[in-house]
Amino acid sequence: MIRSTTHLLGAFLAMTTAAAPSWQFFVSPTGNDRAAGTREAPFATLERARASARMTDGPGMVVLLDGTYLRAQTFQLGKEDRQTTYRADSPGKAVLCGGRELSAKAFRPLSDPAIRQRLQPGVRDRVVELDLKALDIRHAKRFPELFRDGGGILELYANGQRLPLSRWPNKGYTTIKTVLDSGVWSGSDRRGGTFAYRGDRPKRWLDAVADGLWLDGFWRVPWQPEKVRVAAIDPQKGTITHASWVGGGIGSKYTKMVNGTRPGNGKENWVALNLLEEIDQPGEWCVHFPTQTLYLLPPRGFNAARIVLADMDEPLVELTDSHQIRIEGLVFEGGLGNGVEIHGGGGNVLAGCEFRNLGKDGAIVSGGQANGVQSCDFHDLGHGGVMLGGGDRRTLAPAGNYVDNCHIRNFGQVKKTYAPGVGVGAYGAGQSVGNRISHNLIHHAPHAAVLYGGNDNLFEFNEVHHVAQDSGDVGAFYTWHDWTSRGNVLRHNFVYDSPGCNAFYMDDGDSGDTVFGNVIVRTHYGPFIGGGHDNLVRNNICVELVRALHLDDRGVSRHYNRTNKHLMNLLGEVDYQAPPWSTRYPALVHVLDQPELPTGNVIENNVTVSCKEPLHLCKPERRQYSTVGANLDLSTDAVGFTDPDRLDYSLRPDSPVYQRLPGFQPIPFARIGLYADRYRHSVPVRNREGSVVPGTVFDSATDIKASNTARP
């Protein structure tokens, strides 16, 4: 696909105008900190290079020679550090690793007959053990009673692949048969619930209950997975009892209470985790918490593999109030925490780096000005890709921080929901005003591509596909429940092949965003206005959606008014009736005039193509409070796409859209997605993988109907 050459020109100008370094130091894993720091006699540590850099004047460079730099603590840069580039000598070949490298010889045959007996017969002679106490591993303690992330334990990698914690079933989920007791999740007498399970597999786990057995499930709603310890299994009754309450209790939210319990719908997904009894796939492992021993069924090629045990939960690199620090071409891997964190300062850039096999997020950019993540790759992450913040919501002063031209994929591998490819504002790294998320390719994730909040942020030219693969009631771009989170512009993005999500989801009264000129193909809904105010949806193309354009009035049944503590607290945090707020967002001044009704929204000049329901209004009589204008509905054959079979959804110049929908503006489709620059030499060619449909697609209107039924 042809990409714009303006990006290449910009990159060339940046290269030619950058200040030449006035000094250089070299570092190597085989170096010596008593050496001169030259290429021929490099330092051994980044700390030694930093100390030398602080004694120099002018811009300079620290070059990391090829090799793996094992880190046991964070490399810190502070306000005294400025105008320094930390660069890989060969991009991608200088690796900062937060894990411990192990040999296969560190693993030994089974030593405990009781453990051997609990394993399945077919693997008893193949499973090996690792003494974590002898290695002084910090993160091998018992899971908490209730948690949503990795539970604070180590991770294990072989040849760059995250090895899976043992689980049953090996793929997908089992489901609850029926809920017998939802539990008590509020007040002083909280307790876990009880459910009946299907089949008889849990009979194998009775010994595991005493050692600690945890289940991971969507116990109530498809966006809130929680891991909870098992208190008891009754094989005679076929029941499992949780040791802790879970949020909202067990049983689908959308089933009625019967004697204080929701019986559920039989579709609540769950799996069992960290079980000796369920180690049956090569690479599966578990930690036996009482003895601090790791048990592993070795994957193929294990004896010659590079094995990394991740135990360091601090960031690999952290910048605090630094200025003009560039980190280029490095690889960050093997940590249990975040890759790089930037807090404050200005002009700091991560460029051309790779973030992989990390326990939490790839990068954090919090505060400061003109801090950026440029042309980096993020993949195989426990949590999300980049968490972004910066700017002052009180004054609406922008930060100008950015995430540009990054390839973010296969994230949310440990924390399945609310761990986005890019998180902005409340979902990212604190308040966010005037930041940019552009030209990123984000795909293959269980939940959202982008979660955002804040003000005046720009999301443009991003490509998103195959997200929401293991959750529901979520958007590819999602924001939530805030009248004051305004001025965000989402334009010229391409969202496709994600049938489990709504493309642009302004949920639960969120207000004041602009969704313009986007192309949406094969998602559930397109732009989804969930009862908020002053959202503008214009000039979008929606193709083969279940429901294309949506507007509802949930604020009426849910009382989005002065009695809503969440909305009113957020409103009270800003002086919305005085400048700069009143001049920047004049409609917000009157938000309490009719707060429950979906006022001021505009849905017009959009094109829907072969959608089952082009316009979905939960209560058509409420359209009087918003503007639902001219929108054009066409068939795929009639719209005039350039080459949809190759995912080119640009409109031909002779498309009837331009005649039948006056004012429709051409969408610069060729500019969407990654582009080549000095760090990214090529971009992947788009191809149709096909939509991956979750086991059950959750219709977000279900939640609205439940509210309207309960509180008409």
Digit-coded pLDDT (tens) for 444-497:
999 999 999 999 999 999 999 999 999 999 999 999 999 999 999 999 999 999
Decide if 336 contacts 359 (C-beta within 8 A).
Answer: yes
Q: Using the Cα atoms of residue 59, residue 64, residue 65 and residue 66 in order, give the sign of their dihedral.
A: negative
CA distance 517 to 490: 8
CA distance 420 to 361: 9
Residue 164's Cβ-count burial label (10 Å; 0-12, 13-18, 19+) is middle
pLDDT band at 10 (very low <50, low <70, confident <90, very high): very low
CA distance 431 to 394: 10
CA distance 680 to 697: 36
List the domain range (segments joined by +) for residue 288: 100-166+277-308
* Helices vs. strands in the chain: H and E counts, helices first: 10, 55
Say which DSSP state 191 is in.
B
| Average pLDDT of the residues in 393-400 | 98
Q: Answer yes or no: is pLDDT of 3 > 80.
A: no
Neighbours of 46 (CB within 10 A): 21
Q: Using the Cα atoms of residue 389, residue 392, residue 396 and residue 399 in order, give the sign of their dihedral.
A: negative
Candidates 176, 181, 213; CA nearest to 194 is: 181
Decide if 543 contacts 495 (C-beta within 8 A).
Answer: no
Mean pLDDT score across all residues of the chain: 95
CA distance 642 to 639: 10
Taking only the tens place, the pLDDT of each residue in 210-221 is 999 999 999 999
| Average pLDDT of the residues in 639-658 | 97
Decide if 352 contacts 329 (C-beta within 8 A).
Answer: yes
Residue 299 sits in the same domain as residue 268: no
Residue 172 sits in the same domain as residue 155: no
| Residue 139 lies inside a defined structural domain of this protein | yes
Q: Answer yes or no: is pLDDT of 694 > 80.
A: no
Share of the chain above pLDDT 90, in %: 91
| Residue 336 lies inside a defined structural domain of this protein | no
Q: Answer yes or no: is pLDDT of 433 > 80.
A: yes
Residue where a domain terminates, one of 273, 294, 319: 273
Q: Answer yes or no: is pLDDT of 269 > 80.
A: yes
CA distance 334 to 316: 9
Residue 618 sits in the same domain as residue 489: yes
Residue 287 sits in the same domain as residue 268: no
| Residue 705 lies inside a defined structural domain of this protein | no
Decide if 428 contacts 458 (C-beta within 8 A).
Answer: no
| Average pLDDT of the residues in 212-234 | 97
pLDDT band at 695 (very low <50, low <70, confident <90, very high): low
Looking at residue 158, what is its pLDDT?
A: 97
Say which DSSP state 624 is in.
G
pTM score, two decimals? 0.95
Residue 118 sits in the same domain as residue 234: no
| Residue 52 lies inside a defined structural domain of this protein | no
CA distance 442 to 467: 8
Candidates 498, 487, 503; CA nearest to 522 is: 498
Taking only the tens place, the pLDDT of each residue in 453-462 is 999 999 999 9
Residue where a domain terminates, one of 224, 253, 273: 273
pLDDT band at 74 (very low <50, low <70, confident <90, very high): very high
Q: Per DSSP, what are the bridge partners of residue 550? A: 528, 616
Residue 502 sits in the same domain as residue 620: yes
Report the number of distinct structural domains present in the chain: 3
Residue 121 sits in the same domain as residue 260: no
Residue 173 sits in the same domain as residue 152: no
Neighbours of 578 (CB within 10 A): 10
Looking at residue 5, what is its pLDDT?
A: 33
Q: Per DSSP, what are the bridge partners of residue 366? A: 343
Q: Answer yes or no: is pLDDT of 9 > 70.
A: no
| Average pLDDT of the residues in 140-151 | 96
| Average pLDDT of the residues in 564-577 | 97
CA distance 665 to 538: 10
Q: Answer yes or no: is pLDDT of 18 > 60.
A: no
| Residue 675 lies inside a defined structural domain of this protein | yes
Identity of residue 43: F
CA distance 481 to 505: 11
| Residue 324 lies inside a defined structural domain of this protein | no
Residue 579 sits in the same domain as residue 476: yes
Residue 559 sits in the same domain as residue 533: yes
Residue 482 sits in the same domain as residue 510: yes
Neighbours of 687 (CB within 10 A): 8
Residue 696 CA: distances (Å) to CA of 191, 195, 281, 473 = 29, 21, 26, 11
| Residue 245 lies inside a defined structural domain of this protein | yes
pLDDT band at 629 (very low <50, low <70, confident <90, very high): very high
Neighbours of 45 (CB within 10 A): 17
Residue 516 sits in the same domain as residue 572: yes
CA distance 54 to 170: 52
Measured in degrees and rounded to the nearest 5, phi and psi for residue 433 equal -135, 125
Looking at residue 623, what is its pLDDT?
A: 83
| Residue 524 lies inside a defined structural domain of this protein | yes
